[in-house]
Chains A and B, each alone.
Chain A
Amino acid sequence: MEEKIIRTQGIYSEFPRKGPSAAPAATHYCPGCGHGIIHKLIAEALADFGIQDKTVMISPVGCAVFAYYYFDAGNIQVAHGRAPAVATGVSRARDCVVISYQGDGDLASIGLNETLQAANRGEKIAVFFVNNTVYGMTGGQMAPTTLIGEKTITCPDGRDPLTQGYPTHMCELISTLKAPVFVERVAVSDIKNIRNARRAIRKAIEIQAEGKGYTFVEILSPCPTNLGKNAVANNEWINTEMVKEFPLGNYRDRTAEAEHVERTTSDFSTESLEKLFELDSIAAPIEHKDPNFKESQVKIAGFGGQGVLSLGTMLTQAAQAVGKQVSWYPSYGPEQRGGTSNCSVIISNDRIGSPVVYHPDLLVAMNRPSLEKFQNDVKPGGIIMYDAIIGDVELPKGVKGVAVPAQDLAIQAGNPRGANTIMLGVMLGLGLTGLPEEAFQTALAANFAKKPKLIPMNLEVLAFAQKWVKENVK
C-alpha cells in the first residue's frame, strides 16, 4: 500500500526557522504539550478560510515565542505581555487579519492591562489564550491561573489564596466588557474537547475574516513537563480539576449583530494637507519699514482667566504680521489652571536666543501679585503697565509706570472681557513695541478668526484704548 501523508494546512511542511535539525518537521514543543494541537487548529482554519496572505500572526514570550517557526503567514514576535498592543498597532495601521497567541503568564499577568484594554476597545483581533496554569518557558513558576493548592516551583506548598490570591478567570473578566464579539473557553484534553475547540477557533477566525471585531478563545491545555504529570494524567486533570475552576462554554456571542469594521484610507496628498491647514488663508507680511525699530522683551502676567496668554499671542501675531522675528513662551501646566500665569514675548529683527524674558523692557501686570513678582526684573528705563485697580504701588526707581484702568475701560468700551485688548491698545497708543496700527488690527482678526463676531467689538476696544492714551497719558 502506498504511504499517504496528510499535511496540516496553514503550517509550513518543514520548519527551517528552527535551525538545522535531524527532524525538520518536528516542533520544539515537549511531548504531550497542547500547543501543537492548538497551532494545527488555528492554521487549518486560516487555510480553510483562505486568509493566510492577509494574516499577521503575533508570537508572544513563552513557549509559543517560536510560533513563527510554524505558521505559514506573516509573523511578528513581540515583548512579554505586549502582544495585544502590537496587534492593535498592526490592525489599526491596515486592514488585515491579526492574531495574538498568548500564554497565561504573558496574557493574564504582565500583559493584563494590554489584554483588557484591547478587549474593551473591541480591537479587530483574535486572541488565543493558552491556559496551562503554569509558566512554561521560564521553568514552571506560578501563573495567574494556577489552581488553589496546585504546586509549582514558586508555590512549592501549593497555591495559598491568602498569600498568593486566587486563579484569574479571563473569559469571565472579558465578558464583563461590552465590545468583545465572541468569548469562549474550550479545552484540548480529549477528542470531544478538541472537536469543540476546533469549532470555537474556526468561529473566531471566521469573525476575523469578516472583520467583525474582538474575539477571545481561552484554551485549557496540558503542560506535562512543568506539571510533573504524564500526558494522559495531565489531560485527566484538566477534565476533572481544571474545568471546575475554569468552566468550559461560551461567554459571549454577538456574531449575528456585529458589523464589519472598516479601516479608513490614509490621504497623503500635499493638497489635502494644505487644505487642512488652510494655507491659502495665510496672508503675506504687511510691508513695514521702521529704521528706528528696537528689539523689545515683554512680560505679561496676571490671574488665569484675565486673558494674559492671549494678550501675549495677540502681540506675537502683530509682530508676525509685519514679518518680525518673534517668540511667545507661556508658563504652562497646572500654573495655567487657577493661580497666576504669565508669558514672555520677544520681538526682534534678529534670530531670537532665549525665548524666556528675565529682564523685560515692558511689563504688563494685570494684578498685584504679578506686579510684585516681576517689577524688580524690569530693565532700567523700562515701562510697567499695570491695572489701576491694583491701587497704590511703589515701583522701582528708573522705571516708568503707567496705571491703566483696563477693567473699567473694557466695561466702558462695551466688552467687559476685553481688559487684555485694552492693554494691547495702550501699548499701541504709547508706541511701545514699534509695530504699526495695522499689525495690531491684523492680530485681532487672527486671534478671533474662529469667533468673527468678536472682531469688530475688539477693534472698537483697541481704538477706545488708543483714545484713552491720547487724552490721559503725557
Chain B
Amino acid sequence: MATTLVKGNTAVVIGALYAGSDCFFGYPITPASEVLHEASAFYPKLGRKFLQAESEEASINMCYGAAAAGHRVFTASSGPGISLMQEGVSYMAGAELPCVIVDIMRAGPGLGNIGPEQGDYNQVVKGGGHGNYKPIVVAPNSVQEMCDFTMLAFDLAFKWKTPVYVLADGVLGQMIEPFTYPEKAVVPKIDTGWAVAGIPETRENLVTSIFLNFDQLGKFNDYLQEKYAKIATEEARVEMLNCDDAEIVLVAYGISSRIAKTAMDDARKAGLKVGLFRPITLNPFPVKEAKALAARDKMTFISVEMSNGQMADDLRLAIECKKQVKLVNRLGGNLIELNQISDAINAAAK
C-alpha cells in the first residue's frame, strides 16, 4: 500500500492509467488543466497516446474515434468546455461508445470565473446534448475517489457502452490529500464484437448513430431507455451516514458533501438527529434509498449544493415530493460555508 500526497486532478490521471486507458485528448481550461498536464507527462512514457486538441469539439471527437476503435479513452474539461462537447457526447450515446469525461466544474454561466461551483449538474446529469440519452455520472468527494471513481467510470462505460462522467469541481481538482495507489492495473482488450479497429475481425463492424427509418430509430430509442432503466436498477450508489435515526438529512455530493459532513458532525454533537445522504452516482440517482427515508414519519431534507437547486429538483422527483426539500446553496465560485448549513439545520430542527 503506497500512500503519498497527490493533487485531485493528478489522481484522475493515475486512475485512468491504472484503468487501462491508453488515449487522452484534451484542451486547456482552468481548473481542469492539470489533468491535461499530467496526461501529457505520463501517457507517452508508457507508449500511450496523448494529444492536445485544437478545441473541446475536437477533443470529444478524437475520443469518439479512439472509442470507436475499441480503446479506453478519456478527456477532461470544465463547464464552458463541457458545453462545447455536448454534440460529441450525444453522438457517443447514439453510437453506444464507451468514453470517460471528467468535468472539473467552475462557476458560470458564460465565462463566469474559475472558482468552484456545481452548476453543470443539469447539463451533465440530464444529458446536455440532443436526443433521449442519459450518461452515467459518478461524483467523487476526495482525492482518493478522484482516482477510484475514474477507474469505476471506465468499468461502467465499457459494461454499458455509454459515455460516463466523473463530475467534480475546482476544489477537488486542485486540492492535495494523502492518496493510496491502486494495487493492480487493468490490461484492456479490444471488443471485436462492436469496435472498428482496422483488423480483420472488425471489418464487418459499423459505428453509427443514424437511423433513417423512423420505426428503426424508435426501436433503438426504446432499447436505449431499457438500458437506462437497467442501469438505474443496478448501478445506483449512495453513501449514507447517520441516517438510521435521522430526522433531518443533508443531501449533498462532491465537495459540498464534505462540508455537509462537518455540519452533520457538529449537529450530532449538539444532540440533533442529522444524517448525510451522499449520492455517489447522480445518474442513476439513488431513488430507492431516498424514497425509504421519505417514507418515515419525521423527515426533512436539506439539499446542500453549489447550484440553483438543480439537484434538489432530482431529489424532489425521487421522493415524489412526499417530504419537504429545503435548499442551501452558494453560487459564484465561493465554497458553501459551514454556518449556512448549520443555520439551515437549526432552523429545520425548531
Could you jot down 13 A-B contacts, CB within 8 Å? Answer: A19-B212, A74-B205, A76-B68, A88-B65, A92-B25, A94-B69, A274-B181, A282-B2, A316-B176, A352-B258, A353-B258, A353-B259, A354-B258
Using CB atoms, name the residue of chain A closest to B87.
Answer: A79
- Whether a CB of chain A sits under 8 angstroms from the CB of B178 is yes
- Whether a CB of chain A sits under 8 angstroms from the CB of B118 is no
Q: Is the CB of A270 within 8 A of B184?
A: yes
A77-B199 contact, Cβ under 8 Å, with A317-B5, A333-B31: no
- Whether a CB of chain A sits under 8 angstroms from the CB of B203 is yes
A90-B66 contact, Cβ under 8 Å, with A78-B91, A273-B46, A320-B178: yes
Q: Give the distance to chain B from A356, nearest Cβ to Cβ, in Å.
A: 5
Q: Is the CB of A77 within 8 A of B210?
A: yes
Q: Which residues of B contact A78 (CB under 8 A)?
A: 61, 64-65, 91
- Whether a CB of chain B sits under 8 angstroms from the CB of A128 is no
Stretch at the interface among B15-23, B131-139, B217-225: B15-23
Stretch at the interface among A65-73, A155-163, A215-223: A65-73
Interface string of B67-100 (1 = CB under 8 A from A): 1110101000000000000011001000100000
Using CB atoms, name the residue of chain B closest to A330.
Answer: B174
Q: Is the CB of A68 within 8 A of B62?
A: no
Q: Give the distance to chain A from B262, nearest Cβ to Cβ, in Å.
A: 3
Q: Enumerate chain A interface residues (CB-CB to B < 8 A).
A: 17, 19, 52-56, 59, 65, 68, 72-79, 82, 85-98, 113-114, 117, 263-270, 272-274, 276-277, 279, 282, 285, 313, 316-317, 320, 325-330, 332-334, 351-356, 358
Q: Which residues of B contact A355 (CB under 8 A)?
A: 171, 175, 177, 255, 258
Q: Compute how far the CA of A402 lies from the CA of B198 in the bound complex, rounded to whole angstroms.
A: 68
Q: Which residues of A contact B208 (CB under 8 A)?
A: 59, 68, 75-77
A327-B177 contact, Cβ under 8 Å, with A90-B66, A333-B31: yes
Q: Compute how far the CA of A113 lies from the CA of B64 in the bound complex, rounded to whole angstroms.
A: 17
Q: Which residues of B contact A75 (CB under 8 A)?
A: 196, 205-208
Using CB atoms, name the residue of chain B closest to A267.
Answer: B46
Q: Is the CB of B181 within 8 A of A93?
A: no
Q: Which residues of B contact A326 (CB under 8 A)?
A: 5, 177-178
Using CB atoms, name the residue of chain A closest to B183.
Answer: A270
- Whether a CB of chain A sits under 8 angstroms from the CB of B185 is yes
Residues of A contacting B: mostly: mixed
Q: Which residues of B contact A68 (CB under 8 A)?
A: 206, 208
Stretch at the interface among B47-55, B120-128, B295-303: B47-55
Q: Compute how far the CA of A86 lies from the CA of B207 in the bound complex, rounded to whole angstroms.
A: 12
Q: Is the CB of A54 within 8 A of B68?
A: no
Q: Which residues of A contact B91 (CB under 8 A)?
A: 78-79
Using CB atoms, name the residue of chain A closest to B209.
Answer: A77
A87-B65 contact, Cβ under 8 Å, with A74-B203, A74-B205, A316-B5: yes
Q: Is the CB of B58 within 8 A of A267?
A: no
Q: Compute how far the CA of A327 lies from the CA of B175 in the bound complex, rounded to whole angstroms.
A: 7
Q: How large is the interface on B (under 10, 10 to 19, 20 to 34, 35 or more residues)?
A: 35 or more
- Other than A268-B186, A356-B335, give 18 A-B pairs with Cβ distance below 8 A: A74-B198, A75-B196, A76-B208, A79-B88, A89-B25, A92-B65, A93-B66, A93-B71, A117-B53, A272-B46, A276-B45, A276-B46, A277-B2, A320-B178, A325-B178, A329-B174, A353-B258, A354-B338
Q: Is the CB of B14 within 8 A of A277?
A: yes
Q: Is the CB of A354 within 8 A of B335?
A: yes
A53-B203 contact, Cβ under 8 Å, with A79-B88, A92-B66: yes
Pick from A88, A94, A267, A352: contact of B198, CB below 8 A.
A94
- Whether a CB of chain A sits under 8 angstroms from the CB of B197 is yes
Q: Is the CB of A90 within 8 A of B68?
A: yes
Pick from A82, A90, A320: contact of B88, CB below 8 A.
A82
Q: Compute how far the CA of A153 lies from the CA of B336 in the bound complex, rounded to whole angstroms.
A: 54
Q: Which residues in chain B, 111-160, are within 8 Å of chain A measured between CB atoms?
A: 114
Q: Give the distance to chain A from B261, nearest Cβ to Cβ, in Å.
A: 5
Q: Give the distance to chain B from A381, nearest Cβ to Cβ, in Å.
A: 19
Q: Which residues of A contact B61 (CB under 8 A)?
A: 78-79, 82, 85-86, 89, 114
- Whether a CB of chain A sits under 8 angstroms from the CB of B271 is no
Q: Compute how far the CA of A97 lies from the CA of B51 in the bound complex, rounded to whole angstroms.
A: 19
Q: Compute how far the CA of A73 lies from the CA of B202 in the bound complex, rounded to whole angstroms.
A: 8
Q: Compute how far the CA of A191 lies from the CA of B148 in the bound complex, rounded to whole angstroms.
A: 61
Q: Which residues of A contact B55 (CB under 8 A)?
A: 113
Q: Is the CB of A89 within 8 A of B62?
A: yes
- Whether a CB of chain A sits under 8 angstroms from the CB of B313 is no
Q: Give the distance to chain B from A380, nearest Cβ to Cβ, in Å.
A: 16
Q: Give the distance to chain B from A358, nearest Cβ to Cβ, in Å.
A: 7
Q: Compute how far the CA of A314 lies from the CA of B169 in the bound complex, rounded to whole angstroms.
A: 24
Q: Give the distance to chain A from B317, nearest Cβ to Cβ, in Å.
A: 28
- Whether a CB of chain A sits under 8 angstroms from the CB of B57 is yes
A85-B178 contact, Cβ under 8 Å, with A316-B5, A354-B335: no
- Whether a CB of chain A sits under 8 angstroms from the CB of B320 is no
Using CB atoms, name the residue of chain A closest to B68.
Answer: A76
Using CB atoms, name the residue of chain B closest to A321.
Answer: B5
Q: Which residues of B contact A282 (CB under 8 A)?
A: 2-4
Q: Compute how far the CA of A231 lies from the CA of B258 in the bound complex, rounded to whole angstroms.
A: 69
Q: Compute how far the CA of A95 lies from the CA of B23 in the bound complex, rounded to whole angstroms.
A: 13
A332-B174 contact, Cβ under 8 Å, with A65-B210, A268-B22: yes
Q: Is the CB of B88 within 8 A of A356?
A: no
Q: Give the distance to chain B from A276, nearest Cβ to Cβ, in Å.
A: 6
Q: Is the CB of A19 within 8 A of B213?
A: yes
- Whether a CB of chain A sits under 8 angstroms from the CB of B170 is yes
Q: Compute how far the CA of A39 lies from the CA of B157 in the bound complex, rounded to whole angstroms.
A: 35
Q: Compute how far the CA of A82 lies from the CA of B206 in the bound complex, rounded to whole angstroms.
A: 17
- Whether a CB of chain A sits under 8 angstroms from the CB of B30 is yes
Using CB atoms, name the residue of chain A closest to B339.
Answer: A358
Q: Is the CB of A333 within 8 A of B197?
A: no
Q: Compute how far the CA of A334 lies from the CA of B68 in the bound complex, rounded to whole angstroms.
A: 38
Q: Which residues of A contact B265 (CB under 8 A)?
A: 353
Q: Which residues of B contact A325 (CB under 8 A)?
A: 178
Please name the 5 residue pairs, one residue from A and one from B, whose CB atoms are nearest each other, closest first.
A89-B65, A96-B198, A353-B262, A85-B61, A89-B62
- Whether a CB of chain A sits under 8 angstroms from the CB of B188 is yes
Q: Give the distance to chain A from B50, nearest Cβ to Cβ, in Å.
A: 9
- Whether a CB of chain A sits under 8 angstroms from the CB of B187 is yes
Q: Is the CB of A55 within 8 A of B198?
A: yes
Q: Which residues of A contact B53 (CB under 8 A)?
A: 85, 117
- Whether a CB of chain A sits under 8 angstroms from the CB of B193 is no
Pick from B4, B18, B62, B203: contact of A92, CB below 8 A.
B62
Q: Which residues of A contact B212 (CB under 8 A)?
A: 19
Using CB atoms, name the residue of chain A closest to B335.
Answer: A356
Q: Is the CB of B3 within 8 A of A266?
A: no
Q: Is the CB of A328 within 8 A of B176?
A: yes
- Whether a CB of chain A sits under 8 angstroms from the CB of B337 is yes
Q: Which residues of B contact A97 (CB under 8 A)?
A: 198
Q: Is the CB of A76 within 8 A of B259?
A: no
A267-B258 contact, Cβ under 8 Å, with A90-B68, A327-B175: no
Q: Which residues of B contact A265 (CB under 8 A)?
A: 47
Q: Is the CB of B261 within 8 A of A93?
A: no
